[in-house]
Structure 1
Amino acid sequence: MTFTVDDAPWWTGAVVYQIYPRSFQDSDGDGVGDLRGVLQRVDHLAELGVDVVWFSPVYRSPQDDNGYDISDYQDVDPLFGTLEDLDEVVAALHERGIKVVMDLVVNHTSDEHPWFVESRSSVDSPKRDWYWWRPARAGMTAGAPGAEPTNWASFFSGPAWQLDEATGEYYLHLFSRKQPDLNWENPQVRQAVYAMMRWWLDRGVDGFRMDVINLISKVVDDDGHLVDGPVTSGALGDGSGQYVNGPRLHEFLQEMHHEVFDGRRDGLLLVGETPGATVDDAVLFTDPGRRELDMVFTFEHVGLDHGPGGKYDPVPLDLRDLKAVLGRWQAGLAGTGWNSLYWDNHDQPRIVSRFGDDGEHRRESATMLATVLHLHRGTPYVYQGEELGMTNAHFTSFDDYRDIEALRYAEEARALGHVDDDRILAGLAAMSRDNARTPVQWDASPHAGFTAGEPWLPVNPNHRDVNAEAERADPASVFHHYRRLIELRHEDATVRLGDFTMLLADHPHVYAFTRELAGDALLVLGNFTAERQEVDVDPSWDGADVVLGNLPEPAVPAAGRVRLAGWEAVVLRRTA
C-alpha cells in the first residue's frame, strides 16, 4: 500500500537516535557508559528533537561481543546498572515524548546463557535441540581438521562450528564461538523468545530493533542435516545461502507478530536488521498486509567502498553507485513497504570520514551528507555523535582496538603474511567498528566529559574542537543543522511522504532528486566534492524558495543551471 497523509503510520514522520550505551556517558567513573549516564543526557536528545531512542544491548552479558552475546534477556548487566535504572531512563524519555526501542538479539545467545549451559550439559538434555548441535562430518574424527559438520565460515573469522570436548559434538556459531545459534526450528525456542518479548513490552518499551533477524531460519535437508556452501577461502565455505532469508523466515516473523504484537497498543516500532536482503525481500518484510516488520536495515550502500579484499581493503566511493543503490531501494519500496535511512551505526565507520572530509570541511560535508540522507523517503536513524560531526578515531596501533571483529581480522591477516602491518592498520583506521564506538564527545575537558575515569576505548583527540558544548554554541553547527532537518520532517508532509525521483543519475559528483506530493515539490542537491559543481536543472526551478541550506548563501537555480559550492547541500521548494 502507499501511505497517505491521512493513514501514514507515526514512524513515517519520526527520527530514531541510536545509543551505544558503553560509549554514551559514564556516571560512575569506571570508564564505561551506563544507564545513569544516559539520564544525564536526556535533555540533549530532547533538544535534538528525536522521536525514538534505540538502545544497543544492555542485557546481562559476558561482553565477548560488547553485549550482543546475551546471558540473561530479562536483566540489565551490572556494567550498565540495574533494571530499575532502565525503568527510570524509559520514564524520563517518555516524559519528553521519546519512545524506547530495545535491541533484540535472538539469532544467538551467549554460551553462558542458562539455556545453552543446560543444552551443553548432555546429549540427552531436554534443551539439546534448542541449539544447533551436530556430530563430526561422516567418516571423520571430531576435532580433526575439516571435521566440522559443514564448511561454513564464521562472520568473525574461522569455522562457524565449535567442538564441545565433553559431549564430542559441535555447536553452530555464525558469529563468535561464545555466541551459539538458537535453533528456531524448535517451537519451544520460539515460544520462549516470544514470552521474553511480551515481558519487555509489558514493562513499557515501545518495540525492538531485531539483530540479524533474517538469519534465524536455516536450510535443513530431508535428513535433518545442514549442508556445505561453496568454498571461498581454504577449506571454508560461504554458507550464507543456507541461512540468509531461510525457508521458514517469513513464517517465523508472522508467528512472532501474532504471538507478541497483535492486540498491543499503537505506537510500537518493529525494525529488522537484514544483511543480504534484496529490495524484493524488503517488500515482503515490510508489506503492512503481511504483518511482519515495519522497516528493515539494508547493507548494500555501506558495502560500496569495500575493495576486492573485503571491508578492510577500502576503495573510493563512486557516487554513481551510491545513487543507483539508494535510488533502487526508493523505487522498490515506493508502492509497498518502507525504508530505513542511515549512514552511521555501531558497526559502521563515521560517515564524515568515509564519504566526506573530516578535516577542513568537516562541518560542510557532515551537513551535506545529513541533508541528502534525511530528505529521502524513509525513517532516518541518527547514531550517537553523528549529530556532532564526530569523525573516525584514526588509531595508529593495534593496541588501540577493542573490536573482536577487527582484532580477529588483524590476527588472521598477520598470520597469513599477505598484507603488511601498515596496510592492515590503514584498513582498520578506515573501516573498524571501533571508529563508531569511541566515547561521545560532550566537551573539551579530559576524556571529553564522557568519564572521570579511564575510558574503555580511547577518546578521539579532536574532542577539544569537536564536542557537544561547542556545537550547541554555534548556530551554524552540525548539531543545529540536524535539529533543523528533524524539524523539517516533523512539519513537512512532502518530506515524509512525497514521491522520490532521482536526477542526474550519471553525474559523478552531485546527488540530486525531487520529492513531490499533491502539487508541492522539493529539489534536493548535494555536492560530494570540495570543488564547485555546475549542473543543469529544469528551468521551472529558477528562483525557487530555499527551504534549507548548509551554507550562508545557498545556491538557487537561474536560467536552468545551479552552481554548488564545495560540499554544499540545498533544499528548494516549488509549488504548483
Structure 2
Amino acid sequence: MGGVDVTGAADRPWWSDAVGYEVYIRSFADGDGDGVGDLHGLADRLDHLAWLGIDIVWISPCYPSPRHDGGYDVADYLRAADDLGGDAALDRVIGGAHDRGMRVVLDLVPNHTSSEHPWFQRARRSRDAPERSRYLWRDGATPGPPEQGGTPPNNWVSHFGGPAWSYDRVTDQWWCHLFLPEQPDLDWSDPEVSAAFEEILESWFARGVDGFRIDVAHGLVKHPDLPDLPPATGPDRVDPAEAANPVDPAEAANPIDPDDPLDAHDQLDHRYDVNQEGVRDVYRRWRRIADRHGALLLGEVYLLDPEQLSPYLSGDGLHLAFWFGSVHTEWDAAAVRGVLRRGADVAPGHVAWIIGSHDVSRAPTRFGGGDIGRRRALALATLQFCLPGVPFVYQGDELGLEDVAVPPERADDPIVTRAGVTARSRDVCRTPMPWAPGPGLGFSGAADPSPEPWLPMGPRRDTDTVSVQREDPDSLLHRWRALVALRHSEPALVEAPVEWLTEEGPVIAFRRGPLITVANAGSVAETWAPPGQSSAWVLAFDAAGRGDGQRLTGPLELAPADAVVLRSDEHS
C-alpha cells in the first residue's frame, strides 16, 4: 500500500502526506448479516481501502449508544458496541489496518453524552449527586415546570429545533443540550470531566488507536454566565453551517425560513454557546497526551471564518481541523476559488479537506447530479488533493455515489424524525455502500437470504458497485485511486508553497513547485496555457482519464468540470 511510512518522516508528522477515509460504520459493510454495517464488515473490507491507497481510517462512533443521533449519543466511551461486533471486532479492525500500513482514528464526542450514560443517570437523581456538576444544570428563568409557566434559563436553541433546555421534574431544574434532549451537554469547567476524558484518550491510545476526530470541537465550553444570545443581523443571520462564507452574504446558501424549526437556530448570534476561549485549553492538554503517543487530533471545528478557525491550529492545539467551506458552496468558479483560497490560508498544512461527509448531501448531487455532478465532484477533489493539508474521502465518493431518497417512514435522522424537516435529511448521504452485483448489492456479503438494509439502497446499479468499477480501468474508482497515488508520489504536494495563477474567470489554477493543478469550473469549454513552453509540461493526472503521462503539444483544452495536474520537466 502506497501510504505514509509508519514512523513518519523525520522532519514532519506521519499524517502530513496522508489521505484519510471516513467510514460511516452502520452503512459501510454488514459483517453479520443483519442488514446493519458493523466492525466485522469493516475488517472484511479493509483490503478495498488499502488498494485505494488510504492511510487514515476514520470510523464514526462505534461505542454503546441508544442511537438517537447516529451514535453521537455515547453511553460508554471505553468500549465498542456489542451490536457492532464489540471490542474483539474493533481490535480486528485496528490490527488489520496496521497490518496494511493504515492508521485508525476513532470519533470522540466530548460535547455531550447520551442521556443513558451512567453519569447522567446518576446526575438526575438529586441536585446533590456527585455527577451533577458534570453537566449544565440551571434554574428556569421563570420557576416551575413548563405547563405551569416555567421557562428555560435562556433563549438558546437546539440544532434540531426547539429550546436547548429540557426540564427535569425530579430536581426542578433544566439541563442544557445543544442537540437532542437525549444528548445532555457536559460542563467542561468541572475538573472531573477533564480528568475523565484524559483517561479515555490514554485508554484508547494504549489499545492502538492512532488518533481521534473530535465532534463539535468548537462547542465544548460555554460562556460561564450562559447569557441570552442576541439576534443575528446582516450577513451573520446565516448560520456558519449554511453559508460558504459567513462574512459574505452574497454566498449565503440557504435564506432563513421562519416556518423551518431548524432556522430558529440560525436566527441567533452564537457568541456565547460555541467558540469560547477556554475550549482551546482543552486541546492543549490533549495535545500533550497525543504527542506522547504520536497520535492525531482532528477537529470538527465548524467555523467558516478563517480568523476564528486558525487559533485552534496553533502550535500547541489541534493537529488538523476540517475546512467545511467546500461542502457549502455551489459549483461556481468564483465561489469555489474563494472557499479553496480561504481554506488554504487558514493554517497551511493543517487543514483537512472534504467534498462530503455523513452530514451533507453528496457532492455529485449538490453539483447537478448524473455525469456532470460526478465530474464536478472529482474536479473539486483534485483541487483539494493538491493543496496543503490532508484530504479525506467519504465512503462512496470514490464511486461517484449520489444521494438516495429515503421515505419518512424509513428515516433515521432526527432532523426528520424529530424536527420533521425532510428537505434537510442527512439519511440521503448515509445509505449503504454498494459492493457487488446481486442481492443487496453485496452490502451484507454472502448472507442468504440477503436482509433488508437499515436504510434503503435506492436505485443503485451494478455499475455503482466496487467490484464492477474495480474491473473497469476507465471507471471513476480508478480515477480516484490515481488521484490518491498522485498525492503520495509528489513531495511538492506536501512541501511546496501555493502560487495562485488565476484570480478570476472559469479556470482555477495554482502551482506548487513543479506541479500545476488546473480545473474548469465554468459551463463551457476553455483553453488555458501553462507558463513557458507547452512541451515542457506532462499530464501527471487527468480526471477524465484520457492522457496520464502524455506531453502537452499546445494549450490545454478543458471541457466543463475537467481537472488536470501538470508536471514540469524543468523542475524534475
1:398 corresponds to: 408
1:472 corresponds to: 470
1:275 corresponds to: 302
Question: Are the equivalent residues in 2 in contact too, given 1:363–1:477 (CA < 8 A)?
Answer: no
Q: For residues 5 and 506 of structure 1, do their structure 2 counterparts lie closer, same or farther at Cα, with a shift above 3 Å needed?
A: farther
Q: For residues 531 and 105 of structure 1, do their structure 2 counterparts lie closer, same or farther at Cα, with a shift above 3 Å needed?
A: same
Q: Residue type of the partner of 1:241? A: R
Q: Residue type of the partner of 1:319? A: A
1:460 corresponds to: 458
2:391 corresponds to: 380
2:63 corresponds to: 59
Shift of residue 536, structure 1, vs aligned partner = 5.2
Q: Which piece of structure 1 moves more, 497-506 or 49-58?
A: 497-506
Q: For residues 522 and 262 of structure 1, do their structure 2 counterparts lie closer, same or farther at Cα, with a shift above 3 Å needed?
A: closer
Quick one: distance in 2 between partners of 1:492 and 1:538? 20
- Aligned pairs for 1:300-315 (under 5 A) are 300-305=325-330
1:500 corresponds to: 498
1:184-205 per-position Cα deviation (integer Å, ceiling 9, x unaligned)? 0001111011111111111111
Q: For residues 140 and 111 of structure 1, do their structure 2 counterparts lie closer, same or farther at Cα, with a shift above 3 Å needed?
A: closer
1:254 corresponds to: 284
1:27 corresponds to: 31
1:119 corresponds to: 123
- Secondary structure of 2:79 counterpart: strand
Q: Residue type of the partner of 2:353? A: L
User: What stretches of structure 1 of length at least 5 have no aligned partner?
Assistant: 306-316, 412-424
Question: Are the equivalent residues in 2 in contact too, given 1:150–1:227 (CA < 8 A)?
Answer: yes
1:353 matched to 2:388? The reply is: no
1:568 matched to 2:562? The reply is: yes
Quick one: distance in 2 between partners of 1:93 and 1:563? 41
Quick one: distance in 1 between partners of 2:481 and 2:149? 56
2:488 corresponds to: 490
Q: For residues 479 and 125 of structure 1, do their structure 2 counterparts lie closer, same or farther at Cα, with a shift above 3 Å needed?
A: same
Shift of residue 262, structure 1, vs aligned partner = 4.6
Shift of residue 444, structure 1, vs aligned partner = 2.0
1:318 paired residue among 308, 319, 332: 332
Shift of residue 539, structure 1, vs aligned partner = 4.1
> Normalized against structure 2, the TM-score is what?
0.86
Shift of residue 126, structure 1, vs aligned partner = 1.1
Quick one: distance in 2 between partners of 1:330 and 1:117? 44
Quick one: distance in 1 between partners of 2:10 and 2:82? 45
Shift of residue 83, structure 1, vs aligned partner = 0.6
Quick one: distance in 2 between partners of 1:536 and 1:163? 65
2:292 paired residue among 263, 273, 280: 263
Question: Are the equivalent residues in 1 in contact too, given 2:333–2:522 (CA < 8 A)?
Answer: no
Quick one: distance in 2 between partners of 1:213 and 1:38? 26
2:236 corresponds to: none
2:345 corresponds to: 331
Question: Are the equivalent residues in 2 in contact too, given 1:210–1:273 (CA < 8 A)?
Answer: yes
Quick one: distance in 1 between partners of 2:466 and 2:139? 54
Task: Give the root-mean-square deviation of aligned CA atoms.
Answer: 2.4
Q: Which piece of structure 1 moves more, 482-491 or 84-93?
A: 482-491
Shift of residue 441, structure 1, vs aligned partner = 0.8
2:135 paired residue among 123, 131, 136: 131
> Normalized against structure 1, the TM-score is what?
0.86
1:287 matched to 2:314? The reply is: yes
Quick one: distance in 1 between partners of 2:44 and 2:443? 11
1:314 corresponds to: none
- Secondary structure of 2:415 counterpart: helix
2:81 paired residue among 77, 80, 86: 77
- Aligned pairs for 1:514-553 (under 5 A) are 514-516=511-513, 521-528=514-521, 531-535=524-528, 537-541=530-534, 543-553=536-546
Shift of residue 481, structure 1, vs aligned partner = 1.5
User: What stretches of structure 2 of length at least 5 have no aligned partner?
Assistant: 1-7, 233-257, 445-449
1:453-500 per-position Cα deviation (integer Å, ceiling 9, x unaligned)? 110100031232211011101112121122212222222111222211
In the alignment of these two chains, the number of paired residues is 526
Q: Which piece of structure 1 moves more, 86-95 or 477-486?
A: 477-486
Identity of matched residues, %: 36
Shift of residue 8, structure 1, vs aligned partner = 2.3
Shift of residue 131, structure 1, vs aligned partner = 0.2
Shift of residue 49, structure 1, vs aligned partner = 1.1
Q: For residues 202 and 69 of structure 1, do their structure 2 counterparts lie closer, same or farther at Cα, with a shift above 3 Å needed?
A: same
Q: Which piece of structure 1 moves more, 270-279 or 40-49?
A: 270-279
Question: Are the equivalent residues in 2 in contact too, given 1:324–1:505 (CA < 8 A)?
Answer: no
1:202 corresponds to: 206
Q: Which piece of structure 1 moves more, 561-570 or 529-538?
A: 529-538
Shift of residue 361, structure 1, vs aligned partner = 4.0
1:17 matched to 2:42? The reply is: no
Q: Residue type of the partner of 1:496? A: V
Question: Are the equivalent residues in 2 in contact too, given 1:135–1:168 (CA < 8 A)?
Answer: yes
Question: Are the equivalent residues in 2 in contact too, given 1:543–1:558 (CA < 8 A)?
Answer: no
Q: For residues 21 and 385 of structure 1, do their structure 2 counterparts lie closer, same or farther at Cα, with a shift above 3 Å needed?
A: same
2:223 corresponds to: 219
Q: For residues 256 and 269 of structure 1, do their structure 2 counterparts lie closer, same or farther at Cα, with a shift above 3 Å needed?
A: closer
Quick one: distance in 2 between partners of 1:320 and 1:470? 36
1:172 corresponds to: 176
